[in-house]
Amino acid sequence: MISAPLRFAPILKDRPWGQEIWWVADRPQDASQVSEGPFAGSTLHDLMATEAESLLGPQARRGTRFPLLIKTLKAKDWLSIQAHPADGPEAKTEAWYVLDASPAAEVLLGADGPVDPARLPAGMRRHPLRRGDAALVPAGTPHAVGPGLTLAEVQQNADTTYRLHDWGRTDRTLQIREALAAIAKAANPPAPRPLAEAGISCPSFRLSLRGLPWKAPGGRCVLIGAAEGSFQISWAGGRTAPLSEGWWLLPASLGPYVLEGEGSVLEASV
């Protein structure tokens, strides 16, 4: 039984275009490792093999993978124009929350008609982004993140990317046929908007913004990350240290808890 929040050591991935920090991951080559407490040293994959019901609730099956992957993206150049599989085991819907944005920051999200790989980025829908904005990126949607953005990304546990256009970079392969097949199965998503106006919801997860303090009854799996400022978690068994970057996993077996601090937090639930 897991009776306390879990914090994982970050997995840092430096890329030519910027940086990814994986906070919660259960992938074959990238499994988050618990950094403190009784389960320190165990990976999230280990815990899904032995404590799946404690993590996700009685409906969970041991030996499956944790359903979500959570990252921070820090882009200093354009990411590739890409799409993710629209179905199958690697289908990936994701959501972005803007933690920071330069004045000219923007993303490409959706298209104004059939996508022509030879003309990209022409035909893509451009959206400026500001701190506090959020966007849902359904599986199959063509998209690209622009420079000057720091995003929290909540997604299905998948890591397959089909690239359509890579801004003249030649060190990575394009998967144009696969990308176009995925795009054909997706409709354009709504334009980004402040997450505070409404949460983001899809069949795989929900992302909400919570002001502090916040009291919750527990009993379900949620992941909590800082949106602004810092926060700490109190529950019957203790209290965490303040956290301003990164995420805590609160297992379904945890009882009532209180989030306290200055600012606001992101809550992702399965």
Query: 164: phi > 0 → left, psi -120 to 50 → alpha, else beta; which?
Result: alpha
Question: Is 15 a residue of the active site?
Answer: no
Whether the predicted pLDDT of 261 surpasses 90 = yes
Mean pLDDT (the chain) is: 97
According to DSSP, residue 26 is labeled B
Q: Which of 61, 65, 163, 177 is catalytic?
A: 163
pLDDT tens digits, one per residue of 189-199: 999 999 998 89
Angle 182-188-191 from CA coordinates, rounded to 5°:
135
Q: Are 176 and 240 in contact (CB under 8 A)?
A: no
Average pLDDT, integer, range 177-184 = 98
pLDDT tens digits, one per residue of 93-152: 999 999 999 999 999 999 999 999 999 999 999 999 999 999 999 999 999 999 999 999
R_g of the chain, CA atoms, integer Å = 19
- Predicted TM-score (pTM) of the model is 0.97
Judged by DSSP in three states, 47 sits in: helix
51 pLDDT tier (thresholds 50, 70, 90): very high
**Residue 33, Cβ neighbours under 10 Å: how many?**
17
Domains of the chain: 6-198 (2.60.120.10), 206-269 (2.60.120.10)
Q: Are 12 and 19 in contact (CB under 8 A)?
A: yes
d(CA 254, CA 238): 11
